[in-house]
Amino acid sequence: MMVDGREQRALWFKEGKLYMIDQRKLPFNYEVFTAETVDDVAFAIKDMVIRGAPAIGVAAAYGMVIGWDNIEETAEVLRKTRPTAYDLFHAIDVMLEAFEDGRDPLETADKYAKGCIDRCYKIGLYGSDLIENDMHILTHCNAGALATIDYGTALAPFRIAWRNGKKFEVYADETRPRMQGLLTIWELRNEGIPCKLIADNAAGFLMEKGEIDMVIVGADRIARNGDFANKIGTYEKAVVAKENGIPFYVAAPESTFDPNIETGEEIIIEERDPMEIKAIHGTKIMPDWVSVRNPAFDVTPARYVTGYITEYGIKNRDEL
């Protein structure tokens, strides 16, 4: 991805340390978080220094490198960080297989990271064919390079289409409570892609007015039947898109498809700290006595999905 005119990845590993763009500080400040221990990596995943299913999978792979001498304990620590995104568990399993086979840990993690980037690029190639000039496209949360190391899933088609000369505009939901829509706007602005942030509750209004031509979102886990978990608020966007006859696409690599679960009912939904709702960037926006719930994800049934943009092409649910 482009950051201030230069190519940058969301995370990188050098001399035994994992470096990550600290996404808690964006878009106001660009800072790099350094993880030197397994606990540092676990903290970064749990506290959302790094976030997005593919990116936390890669972070976990490098965390396994750091904790290679205590591989089973390392795997257990990392598995407990966040329960919903399948990529995390997939990456840990890949590294455990490498340990059993006697393969080099760093080479395995580097290969896993490169594979993630390559898959996202291919998602961008296939997805860009859906984009036409003068379209207005809605996305939810941040499924960009910050969430995948580079290119993104939902944002990859935007990058490729824009670089190929297509002209369009992206609307990004603010995505409360963590405001990940700001991360999307930050990425797209750095690419020069026209974009606007909208309130979460404004998407339905724009769809009903005919101002949205297509929706593309990412995913954190996809069941065998096509049901998928993504950032809270995705389900309602899918329902409203279907009501208004607007195509709704899910962009995700193979590592996000969980072959072990049949339907979305089996996906564990993470509930996070209530303070994420009660405060924004450290500033309280409601009294302490207000009681809240903070589910981080919801599950969208496959019947609302027009197609799945993968590294193997655009598939319908019968082709998964």
- Choose among 215, 230, 120, 229: nearest CA to 171: 215
Of 220, 227, 258, 298, the catalytic one is 220
Residue 104 bears catalytic tag = no
What the block records as the tokens of 297 is: 């994800």
Query: Taking Cα atoms as reference points, which of 123, 134, 298 lies closest to residue 216?
Result: 123
In whole angstroms, give the CA distance from residue 225 to residue 267.
Answer: 12
Residue 308 three-state SS: strand
Nearest-10 Cα torsion for 86, 89, 94, 95: 150
Q: Which of 173, 251, 169, 168 is nearest to 216 (CA)?
A: 251
SS3 category, 248: strand
Q: Are strands 6-7 and 2-3 parallel, antiparallel or unpaired?
A: antiparallel
From the number of C-beta atoms within 10 Å of its C-beta (0-12, 13-18, 19+), residue 289 rates as exposed
**Token pair for residue 110?**
């580097």
Active site residues: 220
